[in-house]
């Protein structure tokens, strides 16, 4: 039996269903009203990305991630899968009392 180390927790994701979109918009408006556009397109891109991330951190909660990948457990190997298929196939052909 192969024992695998547990996989690392996935990073938290944005829970957009619980977002406060008004606060998000206000944060971006506040940033834009004080922003002096940069001449360099890369700097402009970096500034805008940072503003969007900051607004999201203020207005959008993050999920609590869980590990849902269970395919590494012993009961998902090919032999067990074949036995389960055999049981399902034979249970359909055997009449119940």
Which residues constitute the domain of residue 59? 15-63
> What is d(CA 76, CA 70) in angstroms, rounded to the nearest whole number?
8
Query: Is pLDDT above 70 for 59?
Result: yes
27 phi and psi angles, rounded to 5 deg = -65, -40
The 3-state secondary structure of 57-95 reads: HHHCCECCCCCCCCCCCHHHCHHHHHHHHHHHHHHHHCC
More confident residue, 41 or 4: 41
Give domain status of residue 74, yes or no.
no
Structurally, the chain folds into a number of domains equal to 1
Give domain status of residue 37, yes or no.
yes
Give domain status of residue 20, yes or no.
yes
Query: Is pLDDT above 70 for 96?
Result: no
Give domain status of residue 44, yes or no.
yes
Mean pLDDT along residues 70-78: 67
Split at pLDDT 50, 70, 90, the class of 84 is: confident
Give domain status of residue 36, yes or no.
yes
Check: pTM over 0.85? Answer yes or no: no
């Amino acid at each position: 039996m192969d024992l695998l180390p547990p996989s690392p927790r996935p990073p938290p994701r944005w829970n957009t269903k619980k977002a406060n979109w008004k606060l998000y918009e206000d944060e971006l408006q506040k940033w834009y009203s004080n922003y002096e556009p940069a001449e360099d397109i890369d700097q402009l891109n970096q500034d805008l990305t940072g503003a969007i991330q900051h607004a999201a951190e203020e207005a959008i909660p993050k999920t609590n991630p869980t590990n849902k990948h269970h395919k590494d457990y012993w009961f998902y190997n090919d032999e067990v899968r074949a036995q389960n298929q055999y049981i399902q196939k034979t249970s359909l052909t055997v009449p119940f009392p």
